[in-house]
Structure 1
């Protein structure tokens, strides 16, 4: 049975302890969604407390939820060279965390089950990213569709998300995901989940000034011959992109690579990914080279620059993305 849980505990007992609360009357109201503290990190699969952006959960009905989040004024990785806007990738990570939160806290998906993102789309307005001298309190309005249930519980769904700041809609997204038990995951991975493989050798990073990055470790691409082709740099020591050991390349690493490829293609280091559509076809292995290719694409919004990014590994496409890049004057 779905539980209207809003109070968080420090261990898995929270999955069995419902807490009833009052909920906002309309989408966009933030008066009763709290921003006082972050939720327990294990609910969003993070090892570092500093990487948790979510602050609260409110249940409206069995398929509708509101999630509070806060975007910091500065972040060690999700940051722009210009200091007048938040990094749009904060929305992508916030959506990822929010989906995990409702899966565990509301739909009772066990904490050790493995999640797979199948399709992810998100977008944000330039105005919604503007800095105003304080952290940004964000409200996600989430509606679940096509919920898949088995005797063992919920195994996937499609989630529509609206993103609000100070009561004003600034963006949104959609995520389709599935999850499996540890035993099923081990069979799907052919035992690769039992140990973390060494990544393929790191190539020389693309010059950081071309993509607005100051630190070479934050560059996830190395150049290849051909002009519009790069190789993915998988640095498992990166404290944000690899917050904890995993057996495959995380989706957020691929999203960051797509952003950096789009910046290189547009030729503007400060260009912003204001819309992104991603399809994940299969797991991206850590120990095999991944080739990243940029192709032209029509933008979804007039005035932006469209870029299609394709990820190939072992001769097969493993992920595809289309981005709208806004050139900042």
Structure 2
């Protein structure tokens, strides 16, 4: 059995349960780069010093994307999204310009076993987050890059950690970066018509029920490698809350998880225990994005998949999901 401490998730909420954090309403959607208020999960932000912030968040009682799984366990990628929102709110609270865009470069997410997330006294899952930035670049008094260390607590117990290295670009700088990579203006998801993909994977293969939440097509499971192509469900308002000019981090990490899930099978008996990765370049919308990972059959309780994401022969990202058996399925 994988203990919480073995994956680097342990500890207690150090400010106490009576910390003045509110769960009554969400923060301004613009603070977390969301268009729909329903996609905002952070409810409060309180600065604790020059580099540290305490935040509150609440998991949605139900959700068309994060709640669409063959098991009823909390989705680790929902926790990752909450940490992304908390990271943005932290950065803005600490002086990063609100006109900046966050570009994640690498990350390490660790998640406690599913039973650690089960509510004791109430149905609501209220989270407290200890979020701290270490700045690696400051220009004209404004932080421009750094690493955010986040610790997530539920009912006083630490249930997740996320370390993420990011840089902050204003819109002009981002346009220069995008033009340098492409050499031409990129298309936007709002301008792309949704087209049915005849090779899209069946939902149950990747642990889903709703076809709209499947992001893989052309799945091939060989003797020593599993591969697929990304299929973009542009009608999915959780994955595409607003218009983007690239394939987002959220889609890429979901695709990596689905690839590992398809290879292992029995998605209801497994959970995502850890997710690490790094980005090399933007994934473009107008060219196929493929994923591949070395694969072999194994009865190990935990499996790490080194997923390589490629486009036009170039590596876009390297993502490593670690999939573990849930305690209830172990002998």
Q: Secondary structure at the match of 1:234?
A: coil
Aligned to 1:143: 132
Distance in 1 between the 2:323 and 2:71 partners?
18
Q: State whether structure 2 residue 48 is matched by structure 1 residue 60.
A: yes
Q: Is the 8 A contact 1:294 1:308 kept in 2?
A: yes
TM-score (norm 2): 0.84
Shift of residue 30 of structure 1?
A: 5.2
Bigger relative contact order, structure 1 or 2 (CA pairs below 8 A, ≥6 apart)? 2
Q: Which runs of 5+ in 2 are unaligned?
A: 1-12
Distance in 1 between the 2:316 and 2:242 partners?
22
Query: After the TM superposition, which residues 280-299 of structure 1 pair with which residues of structure 2 at under 5 Å, given as runs?
Result: 280-296=279-295
Instruction: Report the CA distance shift for 1:200/1:179 in structure 2 as closer, same or farther (over 3 A).
Output: farther
Distance in 2 between the 1:327 and 1:306 partners?
12
* Cα root mean square deviation, aligned: 2.4
Out of 23, 29, 48, the residue aligned to residue 35 of structure 1 is: 23
Runs of 4+ with >6 A deviation: none
Aligned to 1:229: 227
Q: Is the 8 A contact 1:55 1:70 kept in 2?
A: yes
Instruction: Report the CA distance shift for 1:152/1:304 in structure 2 as closer, same or farther (over 3 A).
Output: same
- The one-character-per-residue Cα deviations of 1:97-127 (angstroms, maximum 9, x if unpaired) are 011112223324133x222110111111113
Instruction: Report the CA distance shift for 1:80/1:233 in structure 2 as closer, same or farther (over 3 A).
Output: same
Distance in 2 between the 1:315 and 1:80 partners?
33
Distance in 2 between the 1:28 and 1:262 partners?
38
Shift of residue 303 of structure 1?
A: 3.0
Q: Secondary structure at the match of 2:267?
A: coil
Distance in 2 between the 1:95 and 1:62 partners?
19
Instruction: Report the CA distance shift for 1:303/1:224 in structure 2 as closer, same or farther (over 3 A).
Output: closer
Aligned to 1:45: 33
- The one-character-per-residue Cα deviations of 1:37-82 (angstroms, maximum 9, x if unpaired) are 1001111011111110100111111111111111123211002535
Instruction: Report the CA distance shift for 1:194/1:322 in structure 2 as closer, same or farther (over 3 A).
Output: closer
Q: Is the 8 A contact 1:30 1:139 kept in 2?
A: no
Instruction: Report the CA distance shift for 1:225/1:122 in structure 2 as closer, same or farther (over 3 A).
Output: closer
Instruction: Report the CA distance shift for 1:28/1:259 in structure 2 as closer, same or farther (over 3 A).
Output: farther
Shift of residue 176 of structure 1?
A: 0.6
Q: Is the 8 A contact 1:73 1:86 kept in 2?
A: no
Aligned to 1:103: 91
Shift of residue 214 of structure 1?
A: 1.2
Q: State whether structure 2 residue 79 is matched by structure 1 residue 124.
A: no
TM-score (norm 1): 0.84
Distance in 2 between the 1:102 and 1:171 partners?
17
The total of aligned residue pairs comes to 301
Distance in 2 between the 1:75 and 1:318 partners?
29
Shift of residue 223 of structure 1?
A: 1.9
Q: Secondary structure at the match of 1:93?
A: helix
